[in-house]
Amino acid sequence: MTQLVGWLIALPPVLVLVAAFLLPAAEASALVGLVVPGETAVFVGGVVAHGGRLPVLAVVVAAALGAVVGDQVGYRTGRRFGPGLVGRLPTRLRVRGEQVTDLVARRGRWAVVLGRWTALLRALVPGVAGASGMAPRDFAVANVLGGVTWATVVALLGYGAGAAYASVLTRMDHASEVAVVAVVVLVAVGVVLRRVLRRRGTPL
């Protein structure tokens, strides 16, 4: 990760902007389940903006556009290939994919918004949302809200971190890991509760 950050910081400013657009776009659009360092690229864009080489607003706009466009492509891919999409995931991702499917089915727009904040969910949620039949308008609203909010927060974190970027980035990685575990636990608890209520004949 440190080498990647150093490489991104050393790029010309215009290429930092390109990375801040392309890497978030690739997270959901290149392949469902593919995890790429989109968040890192946006954070580094903020660091570069702190050094005066870029306007921080340009980083936010590039990252937000990349996030929204990439997730929209992922959503369309999910609609095109249908419910079988999760079944075609690599084995190690299939269980997570099923958990994400349940999360999207129960939480809808909020699953899309919250999914933007962890790397694995960013890669899975758009395609799963499309495969689950979520309405295009619902997905678009949640996608824009999540993408713009995420891009703004991450870019400003990089901008605020400045030279101390390494320690802040490490904390962000740890926070993302905790968030993934929390989401998985919540989904698992919801599934168990639903099964218990069904057995008792209690309306869901």
Cα 139 off chain centre by: 14
Average pLDDT in the 138-142 region?
93
CA atoms within 13 A on the CB side of 96: 20
* Under 8 Å between Cβ of 187 and 179: no
- Residue 173 pLDDT > 60: no
Average pLDDT in the 118-125 region?
80
Token reading at 145: 């809200």
Backbone phi, psi, residue 11, to 5°: -70, 155
Nearest Cα to Cα of residue 37 among 110, 122, 104, 106 = 122
Give pLDDT tens digits for 56-75: 999 999 999 999 999 999 89
Least confident range of 95-104, 148-157, 168-177? 168-177
Torsion angle in degrees (nearest 10) through CA of 184, 185, 191, 194: -140
Q: What is the DSSP string of 30-82?
A: T-TT----HHHHHHHHHHHHHTTSS-HHHHHHHHHHHHHHHHHHHHHHHHHHT
Domain boundaries, the chain: 2-200
pLDDT for residue 154? 92
Least confident range of 113-117, 156-160, 173-177, 194-198? 173-177
pLDDT for residue 178? 44
* Block residue for tokens 């998985």: 184
* Under 8 Å between Cβ of 114 and 50: no
Rama region for 150: left / alpha / beta (φ>0; ψ in -120 to 50; rest): alpha
- Residue 15 pLDDT > 80: yes
In whole angstroms, give the CA distance from residue 44 to residue 38.
10
